Structure 1
Amino acid sequence: MNMKKVLLLSLFFAFTTLAQAQTVDKKWGFGIGAGAYGTTNNSGIGLNPELYLSRYVSTRFDLMLKGDLGMFNSKLSSDLDMATAFINLRLKLSGESKSFRPYIFAGPGFIADNSESGLNFDLGIGAKYYVGPATAFYLEAGYINGIETTTAGKTNTDNFWKATVGMEFDFGKTPDADMDGVSDKKDKCPNTPTGVAVDANGCPIDSDGDGVADYLDDCPTVAGLTSLKGCPDADGDGVADKNDKCADTPKGVKVDAKGCPLDSDGDGITDNLDKCPDTPKGAKVDEKGCPVDSDGDGIPDYLDKCPTVAGQKDNNGCPAKEVEAKKELTPEQVIMQNVKITPVHFVSDKSYLTDYSKSVLEKLIKTLNSDKGFNVNMYGYTDSQGSDNYNIKLSQDRIDSVIKYLISKGISADRIIHQKALGKAKPIASNNTEEGRLQNRRVEFEIFKMK
């Protein structure tokens, strides 16, 4: 078996056992082509079957193991006239994203013909055109340095040119750990969950560009917030618009799970408007959220035992209980105090206290507060106008007005020991003049201590 046949068989075995894919994803390529061989001295032209195995090295270079089998003479003899094997470095002149990819190649090799063999080199240009992700046509034109031979004492060197057309097939397993269809080398998101749609970089698709991938985005077609699973929040209350029942809540207002302003006490007035946010449940409130006080006595209706009549705080909102008239004490039971208290006077036929009368009563209140042992007796009077019975009742009403006022100021009813309505008795001035009658319309006080 001559050298050319050995080389042929070796090349065929290498191509059929190692040929697998190429590029960054498919790193091996297998090429098969046919073309024309020629010599520079025009000694003949023949067919050029070609096989090659290429290995991806980088985005710029491939390494190729190439074999050419030349059959010379126009008669196309069945004898193999020449065989070559080269290790070429292929310089790629365009990126992998292009369909048309030109290149140049060169490298050392081994050439053998019927009589001679030896080391050699080749170089050339070519281009590939991809018709599919892993299938391309290729066209090459190259030069092969010939073998020096001696014939009839004359040294000759046959140099060859060649032109080849063929196809390349790229194969191989592409590592894709997350099985998203993008190889690990290109995958910028290598841990994408199974079944999630991805872009060219292997990252989950984010249709609305809000930074939340569609498979996690509750609102994949509208840009939103990461904190709300990709949904927008127009009023900024922390509740996504799709769940917000009050989408125009003012900023800074606390909201419930539905995005509506909180109503902590459940009175129907939201906290941002409620002046009394701690109203007990069930209490009737006004437009400000405060408990209603129908009689205006400062005690809300839900606490007021007499909600329609103004009363006293210490009597659950009801008017002060009338102090029962107690039996007059004997001189032996009391110690009268030498404290002069000015009587209070009243408008004709009336029992209410004027502002001036209330100011006069402040001295009585201070006196009683100055010594808890002090007690008071009260005596009510009228002028001479009206019947006796009417004046007795009127004088009692005046005493009652004073007692209610004292109780409202914190004076205990137990310290009012004796009260007596005397009507028009014991005038202290003439009832014939208005000034005299005013002096007679009065309530007088006695301050004493119990023995």
Structure 2
Amino acid sequence: MMIRVLVLLIFLCFIPASFAWVDTDKDGVPDKKDACPGTPLGVVVLANGCQEVTELTSASNLNQQTASAQSQGVYLSQEPPLLIYFDFARAEVLATQLPTIKKALPVLQESKGLILVGHTDNVGPEQTNLSLSLRRALAVKKVLIEQYNFEASAITVLGKGSLEPVTNNTTTEQRQLNRRVEFKVKK
């Protein structure tokens, strides 16, 4: 009996690491338990794999941010609406979305200011969605600054989470339409 246990322990030492839980974003939370996959390297996360959000705490804060941003001038939704879409639980601007930005550059460059409003679908906790929506708006701002030489001070970002969907969140296609960043321009 003792020999069988010893042999079993020896074989266990040679099991490849691929059988261990995988942590693709290297945040210390295995993918099986990670509620926010794809967090950036070096970011401190909670036990569920999500970042702790302190700057966005409630819908009333969002309303105050929106009122503050819009009090700076008259901001209008771009017509037709300029929307940048995102993958589920991701804040990276997809290469497929860059032509949309490029097509709207003349209007954006003529504006006196720009508000980028990030949105999510309703999957996951609202606090996580608020953070994700803000990160999406910041990612679009970064593209505008780095690739198209926009002035950082002319761009305001807001995160709305899942509070303002454009459609229901009942199907995959509807949730995709809600994962977006909207452009509002100052005339």
TM (normalized to structure 1)?
Answer: 0.25
1:415 counterpart letter in structure 2: A
Residue 433 (structure 1) shift: 0.4
Residue of structure 1 in register with 2:137 after alignment: 399
Distance 1:397 1:338 in 2: 21
1:443 counterpart letter in structure 2: V
What is the identity percentage for the equivalent residue pairs of Structure 1 and Structure 2? 26
Q: How does 1:239-388 map to 2 (within 5 A)?
A: 327-330=68-71, 333-334=73-74, 336=76, 339-369=79-109, 371=110, 373-388=111-126
Residue of structure 1 in register with 2:149 after alignment: 410
Residue 419 (structure 1) shift: 2.1
Structure 2 gaps of 5+ residues are 1-64
CA contact (8 A) 1:376 1:447 kept: yes
Residue 374 (structure 1) shift: 3.0
Residue of structure 2 in register with 1:389 after alignment: 127
Greater RCO (CA < 8 Å, at least 6 residues apart): 2
Residue 438 (structure 1) shift: 0.1
CA contact (8 A) 2:78 2:184 kept: no
Which of these residues, 156, 176, 181, is aligned with residue 443 of structure 1? Answer: 181
Q: How does 1:201-212 map to 2 (within 5 A)?
A: none
2:170 counterpart letter in structure 1: N
Distance 1:398 1:337 in 2: 18
Residue of structure 1 in register with 2:42 after alignment: none
Sort the Cα spacing of 1:336 and 1:430 in 2 relative to 1 into closer, same or farther, 3 A.
Answer: closer
CA contact (8 A) 2:90 2:132 kept: yes
Residue 424 (structure 1) shift: 0.8
Structure 1 gaps of 5+ residues are 1-324
Residue 389 (structure 1) shift: 0.6
Residue 420 (structure 1) shift: 1.4
In the alignment, structure 1 residue 422 sits paired with structure 2 residue 163: no
Distance 1:376 1:359 in 2: 18
Residue 335 (structure 1) shift: 6.3
CA contact (8 A) 2:115 2:183 kept: yes
Residue 338 (structure 1) shift: 6.3
1:343 counterpart letter in structure 2: L
TM (normalized to structure 2)?
Answer: 0.58
SS in 1 for 2:140: helix
Residue 359 (structure 1) shift: 1.2
Sort the Cα spacing of 1:328 and 1:422 in 2 relative to 1 into closer, same or farther, 3 A.
Answer: same
Distance 2:99 2:178 in 1: 19
Sort the Cα spacing of 1:429 and 1:338 in 2 relative to 1 into closer, same or farther, 3 A.
Answer: closer
Residue 376 (structure 1) shift: 1.1
SS in 2 for 1:376: strand
Distance 1:359 1:431 in 2: 26
Q: How does 1:14-163 map to 2 (within 5 A)?
A: none
Higher fraction of strand: 1
CA contact (8 A) 1:383 1:427 kept: yes
Give the RMSD, CA atoms, in angstroms.
2.2
Q: Which has the larger radius of gyration?
A: 1
CA contact (8 A) 2:113 2:186 kept: yes
1:379 counterpart letter in structure 2: V
Residue 329 (structure 1) shift: 2.8
Q: For 1:131-165, what per-residue CA distance to the aligned partner results, in whole angstroms no more than 9, with x for missing partners?
A: xxxxxxxxxxxxxxxxxxxxxxxxxxxxxxxxxxx
Higher fraction of helix: 2
1:344 counterpart letter in structure 2: I
SS in 2 for 1:328: helix
